[in-house]
Amino acid sequence: YRDKALAILDSYPDSNTRNSLKEFVFYTTARKK
């Protein structure tokens, strides 16, 4: 799921919002383990 989310985010232009979402993806996926 994380790879899919990151691939979708990478299709958007680089921005603070995208970077924040990327950190959120890592936080939510790392938390479940």
> Residue 24 phi/psi, 5° resolution?
-65, -40
> To 10 degrees, what angle do helices 16-31 and 2-10 make?
180
Confidence at residue 24, expressed as pLDDT on a 0 to 100 scale: 87
Domain ranges of the chain: 2-31
**pTM of the predicted structure, to 2 decimals:** 0.57
CA distance 16 to 13: 10
Q: Does residue 33 carry a pLDDT above 70?
A: no
Q: How many helices (H) and strands (E) does the chain have?
A: 2, 0
Going by pLDDT thresholds of 50, 70 and 90, the confidence category of residue 32 is low
CA distance 16 to 33: 27
